[in-house]
Chains A and B, each alone.
Chain A
Amino acid sequence: MKWMKQLFLRRRIYGDLSDEIQAHLEEKIEELVRRGMPRKEAAAAARREFGNVTLTKEDSREVWRWPSIENLLADIGYGLRMLRKSPGSTAAVVMALALGMGMNTTVFSFVNALLLRPPRRVEAPNKLVELWLHNRVASGIQGYLPLTYPDYVYYRDHNQSFTGLLAFDGDPEPVIWNRFGEGQVVQGQLVSGNFFSVLGVNAFLGRTFLPEDDQTGNPQPVVVLGHSFWQQRLGSDPRVVGKSLLLNGTNFNVIGVAPSGFAGLLVAIEPDFWVPATMIEQVTRDSGRLTNRQAYWLLAVGRLKPGVDATRARTEMNRLAGVMEQDHPDTNKNLGATVFPAALVPGPYRGYVSAFTGLLMAVFALVLLIACVNAASLLLARATGRAREMAIRSALGAGRGRLIRQMLVESTLLSGLAGSAGLVLAYWTAPLLLALKPASLPITLRIPLDWRVLAFTASVSLFTGLAFGLTPALRSAKAQVAPILKDEAQSASYRKSRLRSFLMIGEISTCVVLLVGATLCVRSLVNASSIDPGFDTQRVAVATLDPGSLGYSEAQVRSFYEQLSRHIGALPGVSSTSFVNHLPLGSAREQSSAIEGNRSAAGQKGVSVDVLRVAPGYFETMGIPLLRGRDFIPKESESSNQASAGAAIINDAMARKLWPSQDPVGRRIRLGEDTGLEIIGVVKTGKYRTLGEEPIPLVYLPRLPSRRTLVVRTSGDPTALLDAIRREIQTVDPNIAATDLETMQQYMTLPLFPARTTGLLLGASGILALVLTCIGLFGVISYIVSQRTHEIGVRMALGARRGDVLKLVFGHGLAVTSIGLAVGLAAAFGVTRFLSALLYGISPNDPVTLLSVSLGLALVALLACYLPARRAMRVDPMVALRYE
Chain B
Amino acid sequence: MKNREQRDLFPGALEMMILRTLKRQPLHGYALAQVIKRTSNDLLQIEEGSLYPALQRLLKEELVKADWRISSTNRRVRIYKLTPAGAKHLEHEVSRFEKMLEGITRVLAPGES
Contact = CB atoms under 8 A, between A and B. Distances in A.
Interface of A: 6, 13, 16-17, 19-21, 23-24, 26-28, 49-53, 55-57, 59-64, 399
Contacts of B40: none
Task: Say whether chain A's binding surface is mostly helix, strand, loop, or mixed.
Answer: helix
A23 B76 contact: yes
A56 B60 contact: no
A60 B30 contact: no
Interface centre among A21, A49, A52, A59 (most CB of B within 10 A): A59
B53 interface: yes
A509 to B, nearest CB: 44
Shortest 9 CB-CB contacts between residues of A and residues of B: A51-B47, A51-B49, A56-B49, A63-B56, A59-B53, A50-B49, A60-B56, A60-B53, A27-B30
25 contacts: A13-B56, A16-B66, A19-B76, A19-B78, A20-B52, A20-B78, A23-B30, A23-B77, A24-B30, A26-B75, A28-B48, A50-B47, A50-B48, A51-B4, A51-B48, A51-B50, A52-B49, A56-B52, A56-B53, A60-B55, A61-B56, A63-B53, A63-B56, A64-B56, A399-B1
Interface string B22-37: 0000001110010000
Interface in B33-65: 33, 47-50, 52-53, 55-57, 60
B3 interface: yes
Contacts of B55: 60
B44 to A, nearest CB: 13
Nearest to B33: A24
A21 B1 CA distance: 19
Nearest to A61: B56
Interface residues of B, number: 23
Contacts of B28: 20, 23
Contacts of B78: 16, 19-20, 23
Contacts of A399: 1
Nearest to A6: B60
B1 A59 contact: yes
A867 to B, nearest CB: 48
Contacts of B50: 51, 56
Given A21-B52, A56-B53, A49 B1 contact: no
Contact of A17 (B4, B47, B56, B57): B56
Nearest to A56: B49
Given A23-B77, A24-B48, A56-B50, 19 more contacts: A13-B56, A20-B52, A20-B78, A21-B52, A23-B28, A23-B29, A24-B29, A24-B30, A27-B30, A28-B30, A49-B48, A51-B4, A51-B47, A53-B49, A56-B52, A57-B52, A59-B1, A60-B53, A62-B1
A54 to B, nearest CB: 10
Nearest to A48: B47
Interface centre among A19, A50, A57 (most CB of B within 10 A): A50
Contact of B49 (A16, A21, A23, A61): A21
Nearest to B50: A51
Task: Say whether chain B's binding surface is mostly helix, strand, loop, or mixed.
Answer: helix
Contacts of A49: 47-48
A63 B60 contact: yes
A52 B28 CA distance: 20
A71 to B, nearest CB: 10
A59 B48 contact: no
Contacts of A56: 49-50, 52-53
Interface string B66-86: 101000000111100000000
Contacts of A52: 49
Contacts of B29: 20-21, 23-24
Contacts of B56: 13, 17, 60-61, 63-64
A50 B49 CA distance: 5
A51 B47 CA distance: 6
Contact of A63 (B48, B57, B76): B57
Contacts of B49: 21, 50-53, 55-56
A24 B56 CA distance: 15
B52 A60 contact: yes
Contacts of B76: 19, 23
Given A23-B75, A49-B47, A62 B30 contact: no
B55 to A, nearest CB: 8
Contacts of A17: 52, 56
Contacts of A57: 52
A16 B66 CA distance: 10
A597 B111 CA distance: 119
Nearest to A24: B30
Contacts of B1: 59, 62, 399
A27 B57 contact: no
B73 to A, nearest CB: 8
Contacts of A27: 30, 75
Contacts of B48: 24, 28, 49-51
B14 to A, nearest CB: 12
B74 to A, nearest CB: 12
Nearest to A67: B1
B27 to A, nearest CB: 12
A772 B56 CA distance: 53
B97 to A, nearest CB: 22
A4 to B, nearest CB: 14
Contacts of B60: 6, 63-64
Nearest to A20: B78
A356 to B, nearest CB: 52
A730 B18 CA distance: 99
A553 to B, nearest CB: 92
Nearest to A54: B49
Contact of A62 (B53, B66, B68, B75): B53
Nearest to A401: B1
Contacts of B52: 17, 20-21, 56-57, 59-60
A692 B84 CA distance: 90
Contacts of A59: 1, 3, 52-53
Interface centre among A17, A24, A28, A55 (most CB of B within 10 A): A24
Contacts of A6: 60
A63 B57 CA distance: 6
Contacts of A53: 49
A20 B75 CA distance: 11
A786 to B, nearest CB: 38
B43 to A, nearest CB: 16
Nearest to B52: A60
Contacts of A55: 49
Contacts of B47: 49-51
Contacts of B75: 23, 26-27
B5 to A, nearest CB: 9
A57 B50 CA distance: 10
A6 B48 CA distance: 26
A53 B49 CA distance: 7
B36 to A, nearest CB: 13
Contacts of A23: 28-30, 75-78
A11 to B, nearest CB: 15
Contacts of A13: 56
A59 B49 CA distance: 10
Interface in B1-29: 1, 3-4, 28-29
A482 to B, nearest CB: 22
Contacts of B3: 59
A802 B78 CA distance: 72
A17 B68 CA distance: 11
A664 to B, nearest CB: 94
